[in-house]
Amino acid sequence: METSLMNASPEAFDEIRPYRDEEVREVVERLTKDAEFKKAILRFKFPKLANSLLALPLAWLVGRELSKRLAKINTIHDLQVYVESYMAEMIANTTQGFSVEGLENLKADESYLFISNHRDIAMDPAFVNYALHVKGRNTVRIAIGDNLLKKNYVNDLMRLNKSFIVQRSAKGVRQMMAAFNLLSRYIHHSIKEENHSIWIAQKEGRAKDGIDRTDPAIIKMFYMAEKKSGKSFGECIAGLKIVPVALSYEYDPLDIDKSRELVQIEQEGHYAKSEFEDITSIAQGIAGFKGKVQVAFGQPLGKNYADADAVAAEVDRQIRQLYKLYPSNYLALEALNEAEDFTIPTFDARTKAEFTQRLATCPEDYKQQWLKLYANPVKNYLGRL
């Protein structure tokens, strides 16, 4: 007899779930009074004044402006409609075009488990959500690691925007297994009981080297909730309606930062993040130039999979095929002299000049790694990684 994980009350997921509509006003009011949140806005909008004598009156003005702008935010939908205008503005100002493929193959009234490659902390799920929203589809609930939620205001902001928490900081085997089991149950509950889609990255952390690979441990976590249900592994996978998603950026706003980190790890064996590095990365990813951006949705996985490795391989295969290769990818491969027997497409002088100018902004010590970041998707597509 199947054990129903869905018998759990909604309160069972309070520790990790997104906020509900009835909680929105309280959280919004809390944010407008949060001193750290206002200080973070000051640092972003007025970096030269954030530590000056004007900081206190400016923080008061920020709080008043927040209260005014968020006065009509009473539900999660209200917030996402509010955010939509900023997304449209961001796309207009930081990209040279945003395209969506494959969504027509997915049913509008069904929920899915979207597994995507991971290049940007905030923009990956934001672009997926925007692609769904402009087509009249429901947006997703977003898996986010608790390592990004060290500040109370960040926790509130993320959970207001339909994020749920992946408890990566759990210590010890027993605590980690309990956290993964709760996460697995929540994903099943969201998709099957609440008909609400989920977005999750294919592995922990961004693919800073441009190589997209699915961690089989993520797939094993999905299965945990139904391990004792009597269902086969394949049936469990089919029931989740897993859809691979490929996010392709012509240019990465954090390409130099990622290259520097990888070079430092290679030379020194480790890399230590600064206190506000993740928050800075989020802001830089939002505001930085991205060139063309594409979100491509794949086909839902069926039940013919024996284990997590087989599922991971299929997700990788689809993402590899869906990934949009841009001139930046081909020109980086050419610059590395690794084209071998592969013919690089021909690009106009303007496109080449743009790439050359971008490369010139990278410090000499990191250029080789920078080029690899852009070239690796081509090598991955060709099966050379």
Instruction: Please report, for the chain, the start and end positions of each structural domain, with discontinuous segments joined by +.
Output: 82-253+272-324, 325-385
Given this model, what pLDDT does residue 51 score? 64
Given this model, what pLDDT does residue 337 score? 92
Given this model, what pLDDT does residue 319 score? 98
Given this model, what pLDDT does residue 19 score? 97
pTM value surpassing 0.85:
yes
The 10 Å CB-count burial string (b at 16+, else e) for 165-201 is: bbbeebeeeeeeeebbebbbbbbbbbbbeeebbbbbb
Given this model, what pLDDT does residue 3 score? 41
Which residues, given as ranges, of the chain have pLDDT below 70?
1-10, 44-57
* Cβ contact 150:276 at 8 Å: no
Structure token pair of residue 307:
């284990």
Given this model, what pLDDT does residue 40 score? 77
Given this model, what pLDDT does residue 47 score? 64
Maximum Cα interatomic distance, the chain, rounded to a whole number of Å: 68
Given this model, what pLDDT does residue 253 score? 97
Given this model, what pLDDT does residue 49 score? 58
Q: Give the whole-angstrom CA distance, residue 285 versus residue 253.
A: 6
Given the candidates 3.40.1190.10, 3.40.50.9100, 3.20.20.70, 3.40.1130.10, the CATH classification of the domain at 82-253+272-324 is 3.40.1130.10
Which residue is listed with tokens 């106009």?
Answer: 348
